[in-house]
Amino acid sequence: MNKKLTFFLIGLLITVLVAIGARQIFANKHRETLTADQIENKIEKKYPGEVKSIRFSEESGEDLYIVELQNQTGSYEIKADAYSGEVVQLTQVKEKAAKPTTDQAAKGNEQAGPKTKQGIISLDKAKKIALSKVKGRFDSIDLEEEEGTLIYELEVETDKNQEYTIRVNAYTGEVLSVSWED
């Protein structure tokens, strides 16, 4: 009798574990993805510019929306999680050349600093500024708005596996802060 109870409990435990495992494996298949319009709204709220295209993609088992965004500084490819809308990756595809302002033209084409007529410094310029403060490789870069000011937040990992966050004013190129995780 005791053996029967033991086998029954083991069988029940195995059944429960298999059911939990199957539920975890197929959980994403039952979650509803956001619509392209919802993704577009989230991207436009977070980043300045115009969404040119949105397409759904499955990369490495992840459901993503690939968004092409164009603004005054160039074209960007944004990969956003299809379920939460969180930006997974932001890549500048093409940088626009800055046109001189009338003040610059009047000064005989002198450089007027990192701020362009379009408003913000390029992604590449922000990367160079960050790397001048911390040597390493980029993990991610985000463009965020704080109190009406656009801020590049760049995450850099050093060779010693220490992660730094460098915040750069997107209009002036000024380094606002450098912080790291212990």
Average pLDDT over residues 54-62: 85
Query: Does the pLDDT value for residue 56 go beyond 60?
Result: yes
Binning pLDDT at 50, 70 and 90, where does residue 45 land?
confident
Query: Does the pLDDT value for residue 105 go beyond 50?
Result: no
The more confidently predicted of residues 166 and 72 is 166
* Cβ-contact 43, 50 below 8 angstroms: no
Q: What is the pLDDT of residue 161?
A: 85
The more confidently predicted of residues 182 and 124 is 124
Average pLDDT over residues 83-108: 63
Termini Cα distance of the chain? 57
Q: Rounding to the nearest 10 degrees, give the CA dihedral for residues 134, 135, 138, 140.
A: -10
Q: Is the pTM of this model over 0.85?
A: no
Q: What is the pLDDT of residue 111?
A: 37
Query: Does the pLDDT value for residue 5 go beyond 50?
Result: yes
Average pLDDT over residues 166-175: 89
Lowest mean pLDDT among 28-32, 93-97, 144-148, 160-164: 28-32
Helices (H), 48-122: 102-106
Q: What is the pLDDT of residue 14?
A: 92
Give the integer Cα–Cα distance in Å for 105 and 101: 6
Give the integer Cα–Cα distance in Å for 150 and 132: 20
Going by DSSP bridges, is the β-strand pair 87-95/137-146 parallel, antiparallel, or unpaired? unpaired
Average pLDDT over residues 46-53: 85
Q: What is the pLDDT of residue 120?
A: 81
